[in-house]
């Protein structure tokens, strides 16, 4: 980690033993360091289950991003996670349930980071909105596997997944609570939903085109798009990389397949 990078959300949120939080897909599920050690000293079952679930999140994200939701199989996910099929079914009733769990875990983490940043700009909505947008683009650009799974492949994951996505977009309304009143005679709630939907669509198109790493390039146009409807069209949107704020990163594995290894329970 460089001096100009904040891994995960070091302001307040870290995992056990100070480890940085990661989006699902942020570690190799087959990393030997994550293996459950066998021997006379038994590992508590709670720790075994938590480790398996975390590795299955990573395996699912990498597999879905690599092969697409429709072509991903439970066997593929287990292989990427280094976890057996019986262990998989201790946690999830199938691929869809695993997808929903990983999606919920990852988007909750992302919202946590955005909410912390938003709260730091009390009384200055434009700055808060711009910084949140910049963080969102940074995080997704640095997590292409999670971005592909959560933004693009969710389309193929069924109606329950699409309801989860609708819930996520609804939660983004919170970031417009302090926005100025729009200058025209428009319905405020509908305007907010339209802005959120437009941002999501722009992000979707870039990720679907395989250009997640270029998401920060959208910052000027999206910053204008988010604030102009609320009477702030005269503001000058920030250029990509112009912020002096440390860059926020929620690590996610790049898209690649792990070498074959034996799975464990």
Look up the CATH number of the domain holding residue 77: 1.10.357.10
Please give the structure tokens belonging to residue 56.
């299955």
d(CA 132, CA 196): 13
pLDDT tens-place values along the chain, 265 residues long: 332 333 333 333 333 333 446 788 877 665 655 566 555 557 676 777 788 898 999 999 999 999 999 999 999 999 999 999 999 999 999 999 999 999 999 999 999 999 998 988 877 899 899 999 999 999 999 899 999 999 999 999 999 999 999 999 999 999 999 999 998 789 999 999 999 999 999 999 999 999 999 999 999 999 999 999 998 876 666 665 555 555 555 544 333 333 333 344 4
In terms of residues, how long is the chain?
A: 265
Does 177 fall in a domain? yes
Does 260 fall in a domain? no
d(CA 228, CA 44): 54
The predicted pLDDT at position 31 comes to 60
Q: pTM for the whole thing?
A: 0.80
Does 43 fall in a domain? yes
Please give the structure tokens belonging to residue 194.
């339209």
Domains identified in the chain, total number: 1
From residue 203, alpha-carbon distances to 82, 102, 249 in Å are 32, 20, 17
From residue 122, alpha-carbon distances to 74, 105, 130, 187 in Å are 45, 27, 13, 25
Does 188 fall in a domain? yes
The predicted pLDDT at position 3 comes to 29
Does 254 fall in a domain? no
The torsion defined by the Cα of 136, 138, 143 and 145, in degrees rounded to 10, comes to: 70
Cβ–Cβ < 8 Å for 108, 122: no
The predicted pLDDT at position 37 comes to 58
Of residues 1, 23, 37, 246, the one with CA closest to residue 135: 246
d(CA 152, CA 121): 31
Does 265 fall in a domain? no
Does 262 fall in a domain? no
Cβ–Cβ < 8 Å for 235, 133: no
d(CA 191, CA 156): 28
The predicted pLDDT at position 203 comes to 98
Cβ–Cβ < 8 Å for 209, 100: no
* DSSP symbol at 247: E
The predicted pLDDT at position 28 comes to 66
Please state the φ and ψ torsions of residue 158, each to the nearest 5 degrees. Answer: 105, 175
Cβ–Cβ < 8 Å for 195, 225: yes
Does 85 fall in a domain? yes
Boundaries of domain holding 191: 5-13+20-249
Helix (H, G, I), strand (E, B) or coil at 21: coil
The predicted pLDDT at position 111 comes to 94
């Amino acid at each position: 980690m460089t001096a100009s990078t904040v891994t995960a959300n070091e302001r307040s949120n870290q995992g056990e033993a100070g480890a940085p939080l990661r989006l699902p897909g942020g570690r190799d599920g087959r990393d030997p360091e994550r293996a459950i050690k066998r021997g006379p000293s038994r590992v508590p079952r709670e720790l075994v289950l938590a480790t398996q679930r975390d590795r299955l999140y990573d395996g699912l994200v990498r597999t879905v991003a690599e092969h697409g939701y429709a072509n991903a199989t439970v066997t593929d996910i287990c292989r990427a996670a280094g976890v057996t099929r019986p262990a998989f079914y201790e946690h999830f009733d199938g691929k869809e349930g695993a997808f929903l769990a990983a999606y919920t875990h990852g988007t909750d983490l992302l919202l946590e980071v955005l909410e912390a940043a938003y709260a730091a700009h009390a009384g200055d909505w434009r700055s808060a909105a711009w910084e949140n947008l910049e963080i969102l683009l940074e995080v997704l650009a640095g997590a292409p596997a999670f971005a592909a799974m959560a933004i693009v492949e969710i389309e193929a994951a069924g109606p329950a997944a699409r309801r989860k996505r609708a819930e996520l977009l609804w939660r983004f309304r919170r970031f417009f609570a302090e926005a100025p009143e729009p200058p025209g005679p428009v319905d405020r709630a509908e305007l907010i939903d339209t802005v959120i939907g437009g941002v999501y669509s722009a992000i979707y198109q870039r990720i679907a085109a395989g250009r997640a790493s270029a998401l920060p390039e959208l910052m000027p146009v999206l910053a204008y798009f988010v604030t102009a409807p609320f009477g702030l069209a005269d503001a000058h949107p920030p250029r990509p990389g112009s912020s002096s704020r440390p860059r926020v990163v929620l690590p996610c594995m790049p898209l690649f397949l792990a070498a074959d290894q034996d799975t464990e329970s």
